[in-house]
Amino acid sequence: MAEAARPYVPHDLRAPRRDLRPAPISCFTGHQASGLRAKVLQDVQRPAAAMAAEFADGEVGTRHCHRRAQFLFGLTGIMTVITDGGSWAVAPQQALWIPPGVMHQTRCWGAVSLRTLYIEPDAAAGLPLTCQLMEVSPLLRELVNEAVTLPVEYDLNGRDGRIIDLILVEIGRTPVLARSAPMPRDRRLARICEALLRNPGDNQGIDHWARYGGLGRRTLTRLFRQETDMSFAQWRQQIRLMEALSRLTAGEAVTNVALDLGYDSPSAFSAMFRRTMGLSPRDYLRWGEPGVGTMHD
């Protein structure tokens, strides 16, 4: 009896399947370890290099800058980033774009887990020339999470190279969030701002701060708007919001945060928060739960 013909099986189906398990991630803990790794990544012969890092609550980094641009993406906790031009609070599912050569310092509120990409200046052409806080889309989030699993010297012409290329495109399309506190250049104003950054809940009036900076009230008002494009009151509200984000994420009660930051009542604080963020403090903290909107999806 003739042997039955074997069914044709395409070559691709006979080949071993690609391992679909998540690739392991090398995570660097603390500013010292991540800083040393960052130095190595500045000279990698690739357009972009990715790193995963974690920091403990309260960790403060040293002032530093990078030859490459940096895309700093937060997963948990809040990282405050301060530069000569302003300060930003990077909350979960947000990212801060830091152009090449910008001196900055970080402080962590809560246990911080982040992903960061260091991007060659040539590859960053067309991307922002100033620090920008960005809302990260689900697509960009997954691409960045994949990037930290790639070899440092990934295949430029293969799948890995296409992932990096798509990341650069998506960063260019990412919406910018107007939540920063610009720092004035005038030394007298900078002295006032530094004092308020140390204690955002200080509720003393503008006359006190004019005396503290050694200038008149009208001069403070005029110079502050001239150098920051914000009124003094708007700037103070902005840094209070940044402080509130960090403390709420760390688990503090809304009432305690509101009163510590100088608001007369929790309802007054909640009204400011909703007006600025588009949702209540409690809803903001539930960004990871289903049915609470898509702001932090």
Walking along the chain (297 residues) 10 residues at a time, the average pLDDT comes out as: 52 47 72 91 95 90 93 88 81 89 86 93 90 91 95 95 96 80 88 87 93 95 90 89 76 88 91 80 60 32
Tokens at 188, concatenated: 């007298």
Identify the pLDDT of residue 242.
79
Same domain, yes or no: 171 and 192 = no
Distance CA 244, CA 203 (A): 15
Identify the pLDDT of residue 291.
38
Same domain, yes or no: 129 and 74 = yes
* Distance set, CA 207 to CA 186, 204, 213 (Å): 18, 8, 10
Tokens at 40, concatenated: 């190595």
Same domain, yes or no: 35 and 165 = yes
Distance CA 137, CA 142 (A): 9
Identify the pLDDT of residue 9.
46
- Whether 131 contacts 98, CB under 8 Å: yes
- Whether 248 contacts 265, CB under 8 Å: no
105: which strand partners? Answer: 82
Helices (H) and strands (E) in the chain, counts: 11, 9
- The residue among 177, 198, 225 that closes a domain is 177
Report how many domains make up the chain: 2
Domain encompassing residue 274: 183-285
Identify the pLDDT of residue 247.
76
The model's pTM: 0.66
Distance CA 23, CA 110 (A): 27
Distance CA 42, CA 49 (A): 8
